Amino acid sequence: MPHLFMFDALREATDEEMQKDQSVCILGEDVGHYGGSYKVTKDLHVKYGDLRVLDTPIAENSFMGMAIGAAITGLRPIVEGMNMSFLLLAFNQISNNAGMLRYTSGGNFQIPIVIRGPGGVGRQLGAEHSQRLEAYFQAIPGLKIVACSTPYNAKGLLKSAIRDNNPVIFFEHVLLYNLKEEIPNKEYYLPLDKAELVCKGSDLTIVTYSRMRYHVMQAVDILVKEYSYSLEVIDLISLKPIDIESVVDSLKKTNKLMIVEECMKTGGIAAEIIAQINDNCFDLLDAPIVRLSSQDIPTPYNGNLEKATIISPQQIVDSVKALLNSKI
């Protein structure tokens, strides 16, 4: 099996689906001749031409509207946000059109569109380029939201997203593109609505997603080696709909829950999970749910301050020890 970087896995997924279906097209800033801001679309314009891999002006609201119109007429557009933060300029199109038109048209229109690109806190990219938009989009009816975390799931999820008849927001973390992993030679697709059980355990369920998966696993390595804790880790992958069934199944074993996210604490993904657990299976909990989230401030440019705003592996270690040693 070949070893691929995540950006190559995403490119391979796009290439395979474009070969199979001539209705699949790409548009966005610098997706063509430049090859995308992180080279996910490199050289695809040579293979498929400048109309199927379309460089757009810097006008997010306009080209998002164009992509939604193309989806209504039967194409399957993939829109790359050079940085997902820029898509706030297209929020009106995504919410009022992509998310709603299938409903407001009485089902006459489908919106098979994938909106993908780099996001999350990078390394000194500044506040405007370090936003975590998953909570912004989660409240919009009609959208599916996916956060890939490995080259393997990135490829399988993107192929499924391209084939889905609903609008999919596809988050790729800016610091994960250079991850490398074995990818099967055979074709595969992964479900857009299922979490991944990363490791099994019985003492505590830790739910996370995207880059925080790796911070959690660093902490788990320390906690298993030094304290012999048995920790179950779930990578959500699907942020809308949230696979709450997988979380509940794990809670039935562990009865304790910690959520680790890069999203802001106020109104974040963890807040939604806590609400659903409290609504549906509060009696499974033997202790209060612990939520580790980024601080509710714009991400600083200064490197040390930037690190201080997001959760570190050591914070996860300390929080797990505190929770499992608690007498509650």
Q: Which domains does the chain have, with CATH numbers?
A: 3-182 (3.40.50.970), 196-324 (3.40.50.920)
pLDDT digits (tens, 9 = 90+) for 8-27: 999 999 999 999 999 999 99
DSSP characters for 76-132?
EEEEEPSSGGGGGGGHHIIIIIITTHHHHTTTS-----EEEEEES--SS--GGGS--
User: 255: phi > 0 → left, psi -120 to 50 → alpha, else beta; which?
Assistant: left
Q: What is the mean pLDDT of residues 99-117?
A: 96
**What is the gyration radius of the CA atoms in the chain, in angstroms?**
20
Q: Is position 3 annotated as part of the catalytic site?
A: no
In this predicted structure, what is the pLDDT of residue 1?
77
Name residues whose C-beta falls within 8 Å of residue 203's C-beta, 6 or more positions apart in sequence. 229, 230, 231, 254, 256, 324
pLDDT digits (tens, 9 = 90+) for 68-84: 999 999 999 999 999 99
- pLDDT of residue 328 exceeding 70, the answer is no
- pLDDT of residue 52 exceeding 70, the answer is yes
Q: Which residues pair with 206 in a beta bridge?
A: 233, 258
Contact 257, 285 (CB under 8 A): yes
Of these residues, 29, 80, 129, 172, which one is catalytic?
Answer: 129
Contact 159, 13 (CB under 8 A): yes
With bands split at pLDDT 50, 70 and 90, how would you rate the model's confidence at 245? very high
Contact 44, 11 (CB under 8 A): yes
Tokens matching residue 153: 């799931």
From CA 230, how far away is CA 227, in angstroms rounded? 9
Q: Are strands 53-55 and 24-28 parallel, antiparallel or unpaired?
A: parallel
Q: What is the mean pLDDT of residues 280-302?
A: 95
pLDDT digits (tens, 9 = 90+) for 165-216: 999 999 999 999 999 999 999 999 999 999 999 999 999 999 999 999 999 9
Give the distance from CA 20 to its chain's centroid: 25
Q: What is the mean pLDDT of residues 220-248?
A: 97
Of these residues, 12, 17, 29, 60, which one is catalytic?
Answer: 60
With bands split at pLDDT 50, 70 and 90, how would you rate the model's confidence at 327? low
Q: What distances in angstroms separate CA 231 from CA 202, 273, 282, one per listed residue?
A: 6, 19, 20
With bands split at pLDDT 50, 70 and 90, how would you rate the model's confidence at 2? confident
Assign 3-class secondary structure to 275-288. Answer: HHHHHHCHHHCCCC
Contact 256, 323 (CB under 8 A): yes
From CA 256, how far away is CA 8, in angstroms rounded? 38
pTM beyond 0.85: the answer is yes
> For helices 6-20 and 151-163, what crossing angle results, to 10°?
30
In this predicted structure, what is the pLDDT of residue 326?
77
Q: Is position 272 annotated as part of the catalytic site?
A: no
